[in-house]
């Protein structure tokens, strides 16, 4: 075969690979772009952690029904467990995020995370009277502050979508310099017992970008 066609084929292959890389890079970037509360796990991080390698297993429907409904609704809510944020909130969290939509950051990203708002028997982490929160920041955004809320005693997470009126603010942290992990230590549960939701707001420092996390816990 003449050299010309060989050169054309090589150039076409190079163009094809370059185009593929253009589409691949944003996906890889989004997977490592932000962060989440990983302990006690946020709802979508927990679903990804437990089922990400086996998310089509029908056993999930019985063993982890809230994760099952989430995977069925939108798999990207779990693959993008670190992207549950809103831009431009300006610190006006209660004005921007409506009651009943706290766990989806007000149906952010076109409603991708809407299944996080569904009340039910989400898998819980068992916590002691005093506990720590671990927030992983893959992109090293830093934090202007992190706020930690816990639901009031008597709130029924099995039947009631989370609202601001269900929460008590128990900790506001100072600023964190950019890092991989932010720890909020020695948080007291107070007199709470049983199933509760911890709601964490992470105000990133690199821009007006705010992350919202619901973590289901049990206080023994």
pLDDT digits (tens, 9 = 90+) for 164-204: 999 999 999 999 999 999 999 999 999 999 999 999 999 99
Domain that holds residue 65: 35-219
Whether residues 164 and 62 fall in one domain: yes
Whether residues 17 and 41 fall in one domain: no
| pLDDT, position 220 | 87
Classify strands 209-219 and 125-127 as parallel, antiparallel or unpaired: parallel
Nearest by Cα to 183 from 211, 202, 209, 164: 202
| pLDDT averages per 10-residue partition of the chain, 220 residues | 46 40 33 81 98 96 98 96 96 97 97 98 98 95 97 98 98 97 98 98 96 97
Whether residues 146 and 52 fall in one domain: yes
- pLDDT, tens digit (0-9, with 9 covering 90-100), for 91-109: 999 999 999 999 999 999 9
Whether residues 25 and 68 fall in one domain: no
Work out the angle at residue 77's Cα, subtended by the Cα atoms of residues 71 and 81, and round it to the nearest 5 degrees. 120
Q: pTM of the full predicted structure?
A: 0.85
Residues 6+ apart with CB under 8 A from 191: 153
Whether residues 79 and 165 fall in one domain: yes
């Amino acid at each position: 075969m003449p050299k010309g066609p060989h050169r054309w084929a090589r150039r076409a292959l190079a163009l094809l690979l370059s185009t593929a890389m253009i589409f691949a890079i944003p996906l890889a970037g989004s997977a490592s772009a932000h962060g989440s509360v990983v302990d006690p796990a946020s709802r979508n991080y927990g679903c990804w952690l437990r089922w990400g390698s086996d998310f089509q297993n029908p056993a999930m429907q019985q063993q982890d029904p809230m994760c099952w409904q989430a995977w069925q609704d939108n798999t990207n809510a779990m693959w993008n467990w670190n992207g549950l944020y809103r831009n431009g909130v300006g610190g006006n969290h209660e004005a921007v995020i409506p009651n009943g939509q706290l766990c989806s950051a007000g149906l952010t990203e076109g409603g991708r995370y809407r299944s996080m708002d569904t009340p039910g028997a989400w898998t819980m982490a068992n916590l002691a009277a005093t506990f720590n929160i671990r927030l992983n920041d893959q992109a090293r955004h830093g934090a202007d502050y992190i706020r930690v809320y816990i639901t009031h005693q008597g709130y029924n997470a099995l039947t009631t979508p989370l609202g601001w009126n269900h929460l008590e603010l128990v900790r506001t942290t100072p600023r964190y310099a950019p890092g991989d992990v932010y720890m909020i230590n020695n948080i007291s549960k107070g007199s709470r017992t049983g199933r509760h939701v911890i709601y964490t707001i992470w105000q990133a420092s690199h821009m007006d970008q705010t992350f919202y996390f619901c973590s289901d816990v049990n206080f023994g």
